[in-house]
Amino acid sequence: MTTRAPRRDSVENRAGILEAARATLATDPRASIDVIARSAGLSRRTLYGHFDDREALIRELISVGAQRFNAIAESVTDTDSRIALARLAARLWQEAAHVQVAAALALDEAHVQHTADALAPLRRTVAALARRGQEDGSFRTDLSAATLARLIEEVARTVVSRTDAHSIGAAGLAVRTLLSIAGLSWREADELLSAHPDIAESQEVSA
């Protein structure tokens, strides 16, 4: 039996709902499904044709955002562990800043397990990077690689959910904070970023 492809208007409606949800939740994180539907220019009934409830919509926002984060993790191929961590942090921050509301929802305690599952590829990348950094002497070794990776995740979580994405210096702070957690001093972090201006450029976030 041949499965019919979704109608074009159905695909567009779903994309419109997700975009409306991002925009609406940026203004009001507690926005109801009715408010999101109106923002998308659709009826509540039409929205429910795509998502069973508000939680299903939020889970979809998390999944879509996770796909972008995981793709970023795959794009970082630097062999120097310090540069790899800095570049990963810069690129993830840039993406998280653009979808900070969705990122904050993803990091909410109510969605921890779903987020962890969706971000499994990214988490594996961070874990492997922590091990590599310890093995080549770039990162601190007073913690196990698993603990270091978890600490990097938790600090990144706090930065994403608590920092104004568009405040001056926020991106640089995010990158330097993770480098510090990995064991680099502020002087070492400054020297690293000065020697690799392309990383600093990727920290710029459009308003």
The model's pLDDT over 133-192, given as tens digits with 9 standing for 90+, comes to 999 999 999 999 999 999 998 888 777 666 665 666 677 888 999 999 999 999 999 999
pLDDT over 90, % of the chain: 45
Co-location of 163 and 72 in the same domain: yes
Co-location of 85 and 175 in the same domain: yes
Using DSSP, state whether 74 is helix, strand or coil: helix
For residue 20, give the CATH number of its domain. Answer: 1.10.10.60
Co-location of 45 and 72 in the same domain: no
Place of tokens 């995010």: 174
Sign of the CA dihedral running 85, 90, 93, 98: negative
**Residue 203 in contact with residue 175, Cβ under 8 Å?**
yes
Report d(CA 118, CA 29) in Å as an integer: 21
Place of tokens 């039996």: 1
Domain range holding 84?
Answer: 59-202
The model's pLDDT over 119-133, given as tens digits with 9 standing for 90+, comes to 899 999 999 999 999
Task: State the Cα torsion 67-69-75-80 to the nearest 10°.
Answer: -150
Using DSSP, state whether 1 is helix, strand or coil: coil
User: Does the residue 98 lie in any domain?
Assistant: yes
Co-location of 182 and 129 in the same domain: yes
Average pLDDT over residues 77-82: 96
Q: Which of these three, 9, 28, 51, is where a domain ends?
A: 51
Kindly report whether the global pTM for this prediction surpasses the value 0.85. Answer: no
Does residue 46 carry a pLDDT above 80?
yes
